[in-house]
Chain A
Amino acid sequence: MELEELQATWAQMSTELEHQKIITNEIILQMTQQRYTNKFSKITFYESIGAFICLIMAAYIIVNFASLTTWYLQLSGILSLAFLVILPILVLRALKRIQNLGVKDANYSDMIIRFTKAKKHLLFLQRLGMYLTFLFFLTVMPVFNMILKGNDIFLNYQASLWYIPVVGVFLFFLGRWGYGCYKGITNSAETILKELEG
């Protein structure tokens, strides 16, 4: 099959399509009125729920901050708060950015660059979040142990020691899987960016 044949096949499809008007006026108008959920909106929805849960946890820590009596518990509390507030905000901002790329204004190659950069940024944050989760686990455990049970885990750590390897192994595999996905997507993103910007 030659290139000319491909063009002829395409032209024939165009002719076929001219005879196949399928959407009605009503369907078109429905499409303009209904803001259906696209895939980024779905991600935003789940991320928003996650952010909401994080904020509730943050508020709980703030309300009970007085029970964190030592400097190391207070430091753990502050680190936990930073994780619970900053990361969800950054992810939601990145999602907002990817949804407002200016579909109508940008030309195609600009759009590829904008979208690829925004996607890379979002994926970077998600990857960062995955690794920070391990750190978060280490900081939040003493905080909640103190607030909920009045137990200073740094002084009485035996009871909670088994948590660390279990969660550590889980997070290691989760991180490896996430990194694999991230690498695949960003490699192809890098190639297209180099091609357009180079």
Chain B
Amino acid sequence: MNKEADFVKLIRANEGILFKITTVYTDNSADQQDLYQDIVYQLWKSFDSFRNESKISTWMYRVAMNTALTQIRSKKRTGHSVSIEKTVLKQTDSYEAQWETRLQLLYKHIHRLNVLEKGLMLLLLEGKKYDEIAEITGLSPSNVGTRISRIKQKLKLQLTKTD
């Protein structure tokens, strides 16, 4: 298989990850699409160097999250509104309106976090272990643990206020 075919296969297999990262770091669908495209472009640019690395997910998260970080938003938006179009792509058979509401609430809480917390929260929600989060973020595993427990406290407070 040639390089292009390998790359396409990789992106298609990880479409969901890219979608989730882009929704965490943007407020609207136009910015989300811009970021999505930029991430794919950056992944393509560094695809050769990845081939020699062992863990594909670490590489993808690192490039995608770093790219998201360096994107500047066109304007500051207040309220952190999350439009329905950005949370799910289309409604499937298993779609529930209640779930969509919960998802919007989740995004609302994530968007209130600062850029470092956002990244840690994303990886935590993705089910990553502290070691892998440490590898992606460059923090020590114990530091990751401390920061995540702070984020949890912060979220708990936010959630209590929401309830």
Binding site for B on A (CB under 8 A): 1-3, 5-7, 9-23, 25, 28-29, 31-32, 34-36, 38-40, 98, 101, 103-104, 106-112, 115, 188, 191-192, 195-196
Contact = CB atoms under 8 A, between A and B. Distances in A.
B137 A20 contact: no
Interface of B: 4, 7-8, 11-12, 15-16, 19-20, 34, 36-38, 40-42, 44-46, 49, 59, 62-63, 65-67, 69-72, 74, 87-90, 92, 94-95, 99, 102-103, 105-106, 109, 114-116, 119, 125-127, 135-139, 152, 155-156, 159, 162-163
9 contacts: A3-B152, A6-B109, A20-B90, A22-B15, A29-B8, A32-B4, A32-B41, A103-B70, A188-B114
A185 to B, nearest CB: 10
A97 to B, nearest CB: 12
Given A12-B99, A17-B89, A104 B45 contact: yes
Consensus secondary structure, chain A interface: helix
A28 B63 contact: no
Given A21-B15, A23-B15, A107-B62, A38 B137 contact: no
Contacts of B40: 28, 31-32
A36 B38 CA distance: 8
